[in-house]
Structure 1
Amino acid sequence: MFSPEGPSLRELAVQALSSVERGYDLLAPKFDHTPFRTPEAVLDAVGSALRRAGPFDAGLDLCCGTGAGIGVLAGVCRERVTGVDFSAGMLDVARQRVRPDGPPVSWVRADARALPFAPVFDLVVSFGAFGHFLPRELPGLFAQVRSVLRPGGSFAFPLVAPPRPASPGYWMLLGFDMVMRVRNALWRPAFVMYYRAFRLGDVRRELALAGFEVEFQALPEFGRRRDGSPRVRLVVARLPGQPARPGSVNS
């Protein structure tokens, strides 16, 4: 599951018994050698879809971690790119390792639930971070994203179809979420990370309530399931208004 450069079982246990912020500070130096990092195949597929929709001017990577998604933004944004995360350790690694070609990159430490930006971005992306937000936090989170986007701006992120109930993956994720709930019932501070809490129907509803026009685009690189549904979708939530640049994403 982990490469030899990844964290030891003891290091993972210490992280899991910490707060989310402290846990990621500890994990940061080895994070890119774990399965938690967004796979390059997902980053490439999202980048291809956004290139067809762009170009954009300013982009924000929400909960950027060690900066895996910054390269996606650098490939579609012309003026500047910003990564924001609340873990100082993850941002330190990002500053050291990420040197993308393209527009200048800045790094900001902040909580996604209280973003310190004016509406200056044309595109916000996020990769693999939504399990850290409880369902009741989605309205506030999406309101924050809306607040930093210009009229016509877009919020885009990949969403993997949940595994079928009969599959090993389903039971693995269910077991992980149950362990985390027991851990959080018995131990403080809480470590919020639930793989099954971010559901497509909830996402669509809360984005619409936040004022977004929501579209779904199948990412063809990952194929379709037996029932014909996409294995991976790109969720594109667009604000009404005239975008600052030509281009839009079609489902």
Structure 2
Amino acid sequence: MSSTRRGYDLLAPKFDSSPFRTPDGMLDATARALRPLGPFEAGLDLCCGTGAGVERVLRRVCDGPVTGVDFSEGMLAEARRAVPGAEWVRADARALPVRDAFDLAVSFGAFGHFLPHERPALFAQVHDALRPGGLFAFPVAAPPRVGSRPYWTLWGFDAAMRVRNALWHPRFVMYYRRFRLPEVRRDLAAAGFTVTTLALESLGRRPDGSPRCRLVLARRRA
């Protein structure tokens, strides 16, 4: 029943053993897909949590310094212990304290914490943090089939979160079904990115042949 930030401060010591951590398979698939698109120098993990994206992705594909940004001091404390040698910065992703500093930015599992009307400003911040020609990359899983058990699980979670936030303050913002790829592509383009996607083949395909997960590649125009 805490706020989003305080909730993650409390969850941080157990986060890596929770179902909310991005699976290693998705992190490794992202690193494999990014490696041929480099070389990259400085890398940024947006909403880095306990540092898994810095360790399993940025350190594998970046030749220069790597930085994690998160607004939860509890999560950053865990990241500092788990991944020494990286730079860890406490900041709100909607107000990044850097400009023209990174060649690659990644993010994993964080976008449900931003309401749709916040995405344009968020993407504008990432755009400005990248150097001209820099790349913003993040995986997006295919939506579950309508009527399936995962569909109703996500629908139920989002409905419960809406009720909780209507009745209890401060809010805990986390909605799984508000990050839709067509709308995300539109918002990225409006922020000044050229957007493509790449199937993460190692994560498999659905019965209809579509990929289970795509890597969004948003490049800041040079």
TM over 0.5: yes
Give deviations 1:134-167, integer Å, cap 9, x for gaps: 0000000000000100010000000000101121
Shift of 1:105: 1.3
- The aligned counterpart of 1:11 is none
Out of 30, 37, 61, the position equivalent to 1:76 is 61
Superposition deviation, residue 224 in structure 1:
1.4
* Residue 67 (structure 1) aligned to one of 36, 51, 63: 51
1:222 Cα shift? 1.4
Matches of 2:48 and 2:100 in 1, distance apart?
A: 19
Q: Which amino acid aligns with 1:207?
A: L
Query: 1:191 and 1:158 mapped to 2: Cα distance?
Result: 23
What is residue 157 of structure 2 aligned with on the other side? 176
Deviations 1:71-124 (A, max 9, x none): 21011111100000000000000001124xxxx510000000000012110000
SS of alignment partner, residue 69 of structure 1: helix
Larger radius of gyration: 1
Give the secondary-structure state (helix, strand or coil) at the position aligned to 1:188: coil
Residues 40-74 of structure 1: CA distance to partner in whole angstroms, max 9, x if unpaired?
00000000011111120000000000001002101
Q: Distance in 2 between matches of 1:137 and 1:95?
A: 28
The equivalences for 1:38-117 within 5 A come to 38-71=22-55, 72-99=57-84, 104-117=85-98
More helix by share: 2
- Name the SS of the counterpart of 1:213 in structure 2: strand
4+ residue segments displaced more than 4 Å: none
Map of 2:200 onto structure 1: 219
* Superposition map of 1:162-173 within 5 A: 162-173=143-154
Provide TM-score, normalisation by structure 2: 0.98
TM-score, with length taken from structure 1? 0.87
Which structure 2 residues correspond to residues 119-134 of structure 1 after superposition, within 5 A?
119-134=100-115
Q: In 2, distance between residues paired with 1:31 and 1:182?
A: 24
Partner of 1:21 in structure 2?
5
Does the residue aligned with 1:234 lie in a helix, a strand or coil? strand
CA distance in 1, matches of 2:24, 2:205: 19
2: CA distance, partners of 1:34 / 1:134: 23
Aligned residue type for 1:95: R
Residues in 1 aligned to 2:152 and 2:62: alpha-carbon distance in whole angstroms: 39
Q: Does 1:199 align with 2:180?
A: yes
* Shift, 1:212, TM fit: 0.4
Specify which of 158, 167, 171 is matched with residue 186 of structure 1.
167
Question: Percentage identity across aligned positions?
Answer: 67
